[in-house]
Structure 1
Amino acid sequence: MSGLRKYNVVRPDAEALLQHCLTQDVSRLAQYRGIYALMCDERGGLLDDGTLFRLEVTAFRWCCGSDHSAEHLREQAEQLGLNARVLSLGHRMVNLALQGPKSRDILRDLVFTQPSHPALDNVKWFGFTIARLRDRDGPMFMLCRSGFTGDLGYEIFL
Structure 2
Amino acid sequence: MDLKTPLYDAHLKAGGKMVSFAGYMLPVQYKDGGVIKEHLAVRNQVGLFDVSHMGEVVYEGKDALANLQYVLTNDFSNLEIGRVRYTLMCNKNGGVIDDLLVYKCSAEKYLLVVNAANREKDVTWMKQHLFGEVEFSDQSDRFVQIALQGPNAKEIIGQLTKEEEIPKKYYSFVEDANVGSVSCILSRTGYTGEFGYELYCRPEDGLKLWDLLLKSGQKYGIIPCGLGARDTLRLEAGMPLYGHEMTEEITPLETDLSFAVKMNKKEFIGKQAILDKGEPKITRIGLQLTERGIAREGANIYFNGKKIGQITSGTMCPFINKACAMALVEKGIVEIGSPIDVEVRGKKITAEVVAIPFVKK
Q: What is the TM-score with the length of structure 2 in the denominator? A: 0.39
1: CA distance, partners of 2:80 / 2:62: 16
Q: Which 5+ residue runs of structure 1 have no aligned equivalent?
A: none
1: CA distance, partners of 2:162 / 2:123: 32
Q: Is the 8 A contact 2:172 2:187 kept in 1?
A: yes
**Which residue of 2 is the match for residue 49 of structure 1?**
99
- CA displacement at 1:84 relative to structure 2: 1.4
Query: Alignment partner for residue 125 of structure 2, among 72, 78, 83?
Result: 72
Paired-residue identity, %: 27
Residue identity opposite 1:126 in structure 2? Y
Hey, which bits of structure 1, 4+ residues long, moved more than 6 A? none
**Which residue of 2 is the match for residue 132 of structure 1?**
178
**Which residue of 2 is the match for residue 156 of structure 1?**
199
Aligned: 1:61 with 2:96: no
- CA displacement at 1:50 relative to structure 2: 0.8
**Which residue of 1 is the match for residue 60 of structure 2?**
10
Aligned: 1:21 with 2:21: no
1: CA distance, partners of 2:133 / 2:191: 33
Q: Deviations over 1:24-50 (max 9, x none)?
A: 101111100001110012221211111
Deviates more, 1:6-15 or 1:40-49: 40-49
SS in 2 for 1:27: coil
Larger Rg: 2
2: CA distance, partners of 1:119 / 1:55: 15
1: CA distance, partners of 2:96 / 2:192: 24
Q: Deviations over 1:106-153 (max 9, x none)?
A: 01111136xxxx542x5211000130133xxx4321000001211111
**Which residue of 2 is the match for residue 107 of structure 1?**
157
Q: Which 5+ residue runs of structure 2 have no aligned equivalent?
A: 1-50, 202-361
2: CA distance, partners of 1:18 / 1:156: 23
Q: Is the 8 A contact 1:2 1:94 kept in 2?
A: yes
**Which residue of 1 is the match for residue 187 of structure 2?**
144
Query: Alignment partner for residue 143 of structure 2, among 90, 93, 96?
Result: 93
1: CA distance, partners of 2:162 / 2:139: 24
Q: What is the TM-score with the length of structure 1 in the denominator? A: 0.87
Aligned: 1:31 with 2:81: yes
Q: Deviations over 1:59-89 (max 9, x none)?
A: 0011011222221111111xxx321122111
Q: Is the 8 A contact 1:74 1:85 kept in 2?
A: no
Residue identity opposite 2:156 in structure 1? I
Q: Is the 8 A contact 2:57 2:139 kept in 1?
A: yes
SS in 1 for 2:122: helix
Q: How many residues align?
A: 147
Residue identity opposite 2:90 in structure 1? C
- CA displacement at 1:91 relative to structure 2: 1.9
Residue identity opposite 1:31 in structure 2? I
SS in 1 for 2:66: helix
